[in-house]
Amino acid sequence: MRLTLGHIDEYDERTATFARQLGLGSVQLHNPTNLSGTDGYWGEAELRALRERCESDGLRLEGLENVPAANFWRIQRGLPGRDEQLDNYRRTVVNMGRAGIPVLGYHFITTYVWRTRLRAAGRGGALVTAFDLADAGRGNALAAYKLTPDEPVTEPITAEQMWAHHRYFLDAVLPVAEEAGVRLALHPDDPPVDVPLGGAARIFTSPAALAEAARQAGGSPAWGLDLCVGTVSEMGGEPAVLEVVDRLGGDRISYVHFRDVRGTVPRFAECFLGEGNISPPRVLRHLRDAGFTGFVIDDHVPAMVGDRDTWADTSSEAYVSRGRAHALGYLQGVLAALDAD
């Protein structure tokens, strides 16, 4: 298990310096602006150039997540045009394999992550995001974020349909991913509510549903979970997180998003590590004891004094923040203590 600088939207000299100053040896990118995707897929040359750039900075590129929403929304909704998007998705997977980038995170959150507040007051007035189902009818505070599809849902999408769309996606992509040596990693639905948001049902909302996703993937080595500790703790606190680790086992977890949250659905707010639903040392020890050997990344972080809002601003200047340095330092301390066990 190793700590990686993750959730990076713009990889550049500043990001690389931040990683090196923190003593990290690898990075993971979150829908990076460094890749165009304008033809509907990521090209081999741009992927290879990105990996080589990270390596020339002394950093291994562990993986990517989230192809642009414009290249994926028909797949999630099962709409005409999805087969073309799937062709392009397979191209991306093949190109990633050729370029030597082994992990691609994805999600089936049709109307993306939903929040009702983006600037709630956390500890000492730090800014955090929050969700309250009672206010969800007013719309998604993240509607303008780049991964929220521009197209509204016009026909309601049921849970049964979402499961079928996910099955269709796996059938279309896993064989190619196996051959390419690329592992897909599913992010659970955030927030994990069993009611539709914006007209689309959410399905990956419980430990049982994540176990069912693993079952849908069969024994494919090209499928794993992107275990978002924050999202799973929104389902049922730390017990839900430990349950997912136990149900899937360490080797079905591809990598981990590590953040803390106070409260569970229908109402929660993000927070600093160690003041929320989970004990970070207990969760990391559980992962280690379950045989998890992948990478752990920082995730959403509170905006501290002087930090910019990283939802409105995805530049590297905003990314390299006090809140993120605190999260990474905290995780490094916990991992060092576990190593000394």
What are the DSSP calls for 220-252, one per residue? -TTEEEEEEHHHHHHHHHHHHHHHHHHHH-GGG
Backbone phi, then psi, for 295, in 5-degree steps? -110, 155
Nearest distance, CB of residue 31 and ligand KDG, angstroms? 7
Q: Which is nearer to ligand KDG, 192 or 196 (CB)?
A: 192
Name the one residue in this structure whose structure tokens are 């600088």: 5
Nearest distance, CB of residue 56 and ligand KDG, angstroms? 26
The DSSP symbol for 135 reads G
Instruction: Identify whether 191 is preceded by a cis peptide bond (ω within 30 of 0).
Output: yes
Q: Which is nearer to ligand KDG, 148 or 216 (CB)?
A: 148
Q: Which is nearer to ligand KDG, 18 or 268 (CB)?
A: 268
* Closest C-alpha among 58, 59, 29, 26 to residue 46: 29
Calculate the dihedral angle through the C-alpha atoms of 292, 295, 301, 304, rounding to the nearest 10 degrees: 120
206-213: long-range contacts (C-beta < 8 A, 24 or more apart)? 206/235, 206/236, 206/240, 207/232, 207/235, 207/236, 207/240, 207/243, 207/244, 207/247, 208/247, 210/186, 210/244, 210/247, 210/248, 211/244, 211/247, 211/248, 213/166, 213/186
List of residues contacting ligand KDG (CB under 6 A):
30, 65-66, 105, 107, 113, 147, 187, 190, 228, 230-231, 257, 299
Q: Which is nearer to ligand KDG, 66 or 310 (CB)?
A: 66
Nearest distance, CB of residue 81 and ligand KDG, angstroms? 21
Nearest distance, CB of residue 145 and ligand KDG, angstroms? 8
Distances (CA, A) of 26 to 6, 8, 9: 9, 12, 15
Nearest distance, CB of residue 187 and ligand KDG, angstroms? 4
Q: Which is nearer to ligand KDG, 23 or 139 (CB)?
A: 139
Nearest distance, CB of residue 65 and ligand KDG, angstroms? 5
Q: Which is nearer to ligand KDG, 32 or 98 (CB)?
A: 32
What residue type is assigned to position 150 of the chain? D
Nearest distance, CB of residue 190 and ligand KDG, angstroms? 4
| CA dihedral sign of residues 235, 241, 243, 246 | positive
Name the one residue in this structure whose structure tokens are 């989230």: 66
Q: Which is nearer to ligand KDG, 174 or 297 (CB)?
A: 297
